Structure 1
């Protein structure tokens, strides 16, 4: 009403051509609207995205064109993503409203992942599935619930192809979890006497020839192979390893059997040959999981070398085979070559400082000790002359 009154006054009192003014303003409005089309589209798209809330700050999203990242900011004009290379990706809201996206952080932060592995079928598929389940049970990085699964995808004369599915707490943990699973796959497959199959398109000799070549190689006994994998004994000579291997004892434990109780002092080192173990600590009425052990891992080094009690209980998650080294077996080597005590102490201290120690000692027991103090304890325990 006010605008009409003003235009009437201007037209009749001042004889100004209002029609021309209105026509010109319409053209200007059209030009302005066309110029701001992209901005207005972003504004209204931003309003629609905020009302629909397909994602929130902190969510990891993947677009249909392959762009992915974590949402770090969203405003009236654009949405900012931080990708895996720590680069900032700025996406107009109008673009996000048109392209499809997958929110990897919804409905919760847990994220599913799968791995495919091909194994030479030297044993039955059901036995291979048991090995794969032991791989998943050995992992510290994946969630126990929902339970991880193993499925056979195909079976040929050359390979059994299996798919391992599991979930992690957050999309950011998927990469480290896969790395851990690959390492555990290698260790469990070797421990079970299996071999990984080649890819379908790989060129090379047939699996039968590879197996024959493997069998033709000099056989190395299992105790020696286990000693090779233990950093504590990396400084031993081949003759010393053979002497120690000859004294090792093979022990087996059924599923759910307790290998070590919290607080026990174990006067021997145990190396896991096959199976999976879980380490737990009782704090009041609460049981805390500290980690899991797989083939090639070992425990009891603190009890063996310096007589310190275990700070965790170890329970078998599957049928477990371990090889045991008693203090009496290590004593002759230390008496023949006292310098071994310094090498063992340095390796043990490094494992404690880097967090690789097998749950054997409370932090206050050995934290801050020097190599010389550990050498003194080792020599005193094994009665080695100073």
Structure 2
């Protein structure tokens, strides 16, 4: 006899009523749990702590269900109610067990400071499989529900969906493959199909990367699996950069290579090991091409890094007179190089000479501190020295010279600033003192006047212009004005005597170096030696 709709409704109503209660419990528990979950998702919260907080949800579900049963709010009219309730408790108890075991596993690897061995995508899929197994097991073993039709229907549905969602399944399988072999991981810097970025997240469908422009690019997993991917984070973070630079044929390759390597070293971004190196890559019609190699662990900032090294190259080339050529005809190239070669031999222009004279006159160079900082030289004498000096531009981060190096030049700060650091020993302990040399001040004159090693390391703090007084220029100046040697020696020796106790603490200076620099007669002998060299240079 066929049942009426009313009878059918009466038959299924208890199940629907109890199902509604189960759904209500889930929603109520989620509302109670949501504040706790949101706090647990904040920055700095470890994955283990998040998993531990996740245990609270199924526990709250069980507690709310128990309260509903004890207070007789839960329906018990149907004989199957108790069976379904037991299946309900069993399912959530299994969820608690799965979450506890998951938290324990995460905590073990976290304490050992090792990465969790299961990739994130496979990890989430595994949890989904376990939850599904717990559900089917609870309704089958405790709820006495025949799940065979469900499994059969699922198989047919899976086959139908497999044909309909081939692309989606392709992404899923590709994502699983990528996660299993760890081709890319969260935090890796990768490049694919001309796009470079940091992997932010991976899921069953796509991989999300953040580019240098702070844009998010979503790449389907099957695309990653079928294209060549460059992982800049493996096998290690260190990455080799290169910069191509041209120089004219009139510049010796040894000098160009030396300038390129020094530019990378002074930039502050290149690793010391492996050390920077430069090689010749091509001989062209208009010049020689060079390639500078250097290593950093900042490939993510490659444009800033390579730009910083390129900036230092310009200053190195400019000070050394190294020309960067541009394509031109042979005749124009020859004419241009002849002009450049002749210009290198020309003395400073009239305007530059006047500026050199004024800057030297107003600086502390060869001024007597005991005579209210009056200059030891007349304007005419300073003008003779200015003819042999030149301006030099430096950029932030460059090293002017290092403590302990031999030095035969000194510098006058025109603009910008130079920081100095002196390392010395006091009481058996190594210490460092710092100072700043501002415009008008002199830096490095002790080595020029006494022949002692550099007593400090000079670093350029900002865009800076200096007047370089090289040893050969000072030697020619002394050869033409030997009458000032005694006064220069006296002033230098007196300055050094005031600092003699401190100079003795500098390891790079021997006792003989300190004694020589404080002895007026020995300083005069040093200046006379320079004057003899200057006479030979003058011819």
TM-score grouping bracket, smaller chain normalisation: 0.5 to 0.7
Shift of 1:34: 1.2
Aligned position for 1:339: none
Extract unaligned runs of 5+ from structure 1. Answer: 7-21, 228-235, 261-266, 291-298, 306-311, 326-386
More displaced, 86-95 or 38-47? 38-47
Counterpart among 225, 241, 258 of residue 404 in structure 2 = 258
Distance 1:147 1:259, change over 3 A: closer
Q: What are the residue-to-residue correspondences of 1:155-304 with 2, within 5 Å?
A: 155-156=283-284, 158-199=286-327, 206-214=332-340, 221=348, 240-241=358-359, 243=361, 246=383, 258=404, 269-270=412-413, 300-301=437-438, 304=441
Shift of 1:211: 3.1
Shift of 1:158: 3.2
Specify the SS of the correspondent of 1:177.
Answer: helix
Shift of 1:145: 1.2
Shift of 1:79: 0.7
Shift of 1:159: 1.2
Distance 2:261 2:234 in 1: 28
2:279 aligned with 1:151:
yes
Shift of 1:66: 1.0
Shift of 1:222: 9.2
Aligned position for 1:59: 188
Shift of 1:195: 0.7
Aligned position for 1:104: 232
Deviations 1:68-123 (A, max 9, x none): 21111112221101112211101111211111100111122222110111100213
Aligned position for 1:314: 457
Aligned position for 1:344: none
Q: Is the 8 A contact 2:402 2:457 kept in 1?
A: no
Distance 1:74 1:243 in 2: 67
Shift of 1:221: 2.5
Specify the SS of the correspondent of 1:258.
Answer: coil
TM-score (norm 2): 0.41
Identify the structure with bigger relative contact order (alpha carbons < 8 Å, sequence gap 6+): 1
Distance 1:73 1:283 in 2: 51
TM-score (norm 1): 0.55
Distance 1:280 1:48, change over 3 A: farther
Deviations 1:39-90 (A, max 9, x none): 2222222111111111222211011x21221111112221101112211101
Specify the SS of the correspondent of 2:468.
Answer: strand
Distance 1:143 1:89 in 2: 31
Aligned position for 1:12: none
Specify the SS of the correspondent of 2:272.
Answer: coil
Counterpart among 448, 453, 468 of residue 323 in structure 1 = 468
Q: Is the 8 A contact 2:419 2:437 kept in 1?
A: no
Distance 2:431 2:273 in 1: 17
Distance 1:155 1:138, change over 3 A: same
Distance 2:350 2:259 in 1: 21
Q: CA RMSD in A?
A: 4.7
Q: Is the 8 A contact 2:412 2:467 kept in 1?
A: no
Distance 1:121 1:39 in 2: 60
Shift of 1:302: 7.8
Distance 2:360 2:420 in 1: 30
Distance 2:430 2:230 in 1: 38
Distance 2:424 2:303 in 1: 32
Aligned position for 1:335: none
Distance 2:188 2:148 in 1: 54
Distance 1:259 1:25 in 2: 80
Shift of 1:28: 6.0
Q: Is the 8 A contact 2:411 2:469 kept in 1?
A: yes
Distance 1:220 1:250, change over 3 A: closer
Distance 1:302 1:197 in 2: 34
Deviations 1:248-285 (A, max 9, x none): 6969xx9865379xxxxxx984579xxxx997676997
Specify the SS of the correspondent of 2:441.
Answer: helix
Shift of 1:25: 9.6
